């Protein structure tokens, strides 16, 4: 685990988990995974972790991982730069487009999807799609344990080879841990990723959110109903969220997540990852995530 805890962070985080659980009738502590990270002594990551190593269906959080992978592929010449890829990388983050994400996945893996395949052809296709996992396995992060992101993003259930691949091994759906999401954001801004400086800057720019901008209230912008939706003026925000209601598949239904980096003048940057499970969160009051994000920001300031 890349985050070091302290008694102060433990006290703060434990209280916050209890409060977000209490804010949603029917919620239990096991419905929440929370990771908070800030630079500590010597620049090392310090913070709080609750169920951070639990693999959870991640919805659209995987799109931030595909963005980093795509920019690395462009750096290394494994993908060719073109306008449609630029547009897809932007739209899969800006509007959380599943269609854009699946285009990026096809570019990274040299595959297409849906129709049935068999035998060697199917095994070759599956191996190519596993490139999405292998890229992050090579990072050597302990926080990646239990994660997989090789499935495409669907607005409802899956068919053909996509359904077969998702079911391989008794259940091969996407999974992320809150620690892996926090690790990606930490390495992108504070640490080391296989990205050139221009590519790193481009990833950061694509993940940026403008709380005062014209798109801030749009649900597709994934800010107003998430952790960044009620922060004070003057903050800077980078984030990627995910939200599934009923999809037709119980394994991919009723999740709401956010991974966010927040900073402001005279404040150390704060990373927060909140992953929630269950209809009471996913279909609950839209105010829960924004109020909780503001509470985290205030409480961390008071702890300093």
- Using an 8 Å Cβ cutoff, are 243 and 263 in contact? no
The order of strands in the sheet holding 236-244 is 4-5, 45-50, 32-39, 267-277, 255-264, 236-244, 208-209
Return the structure tokens found at 287: 């105010």
Segment (H or E) for 109: helix 98-109
Domains in the chain with CATH codes: 4-303 (3.40.710.10)
Residue 304 pLDDT greater than 80, yes or no? no
What pLDDT shows up at residue 232? 95
Using one digit for the tens of pLDDT, what is the confidence trace for 176-193?
A: 999 999 999 999 999 889
Using one digit for the tens of pLDDT, what is the confidence trace for 89-107?
A: 999 999 999 999 999 999 9
Q: Give the SS3 label for residue 58.
A: coil
């Amino acid at each position: 685990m890349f985050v070091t805890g302290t008694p102060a962070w433990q006290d703060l985080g434990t209280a916050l988990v209890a409060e977000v659980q209490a804010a949603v009738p029917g919620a239990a502590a096991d419905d929440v995974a929370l990771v908070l990270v800030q630079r500590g002594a010597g620049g090392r990551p310090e913070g709080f972790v609750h169920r951070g190593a639990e693999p959870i269906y991640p919805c659209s959080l995987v799109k931030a991982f595909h963005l980093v992978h795509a920019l690395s592929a462009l750096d290394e010449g494994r993908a060719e730069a073109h306008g449609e890829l630029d547009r897809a990388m932007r739209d899969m983050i800006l509007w959380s487009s599943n269609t854009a994400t699946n285009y990026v996945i096809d570019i990274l893996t040299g595959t297409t999807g849906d129709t049935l395949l068999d035998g060697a052809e199917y095994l070759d296709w599956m191996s190519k799609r596993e490139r999405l996992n292998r890229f992050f396995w090579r990072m050597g992060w302990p926080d990646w344990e239990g994660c997989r992101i090789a499935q495409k993003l669907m607005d409802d259930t899956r068919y053909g080879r996509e359904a077969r691949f998702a079911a391989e091994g008794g259940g091969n759906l996407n999974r992320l841990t809150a620690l892996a999401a926090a690790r990606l954001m930490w390495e992108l801004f504070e640490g080391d990723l296989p990205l050139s400086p221009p590519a790193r800057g481009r990833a950061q720019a694509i993940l940026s959110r403008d709380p005062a901008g014209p798109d801030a209230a749009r649900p597709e912008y994934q800010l107003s109903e998430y952790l960044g939706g009620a922060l004070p003026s003057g903050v800077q925000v980078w984030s990627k969220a995910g939200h599934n209601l009923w999809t037709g598949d119980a394994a991919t239904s009723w999740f709401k997540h956010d991974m966010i980096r927040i900073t402001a003048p005279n404040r150390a940057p704060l990373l927060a990852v909140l992953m929630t499970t269950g209809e009471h969160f996913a279909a609950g009051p839209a105010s829960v995530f924004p109020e909780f994000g503001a509470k985290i920001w205030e409480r961390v300031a008071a702890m300093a």
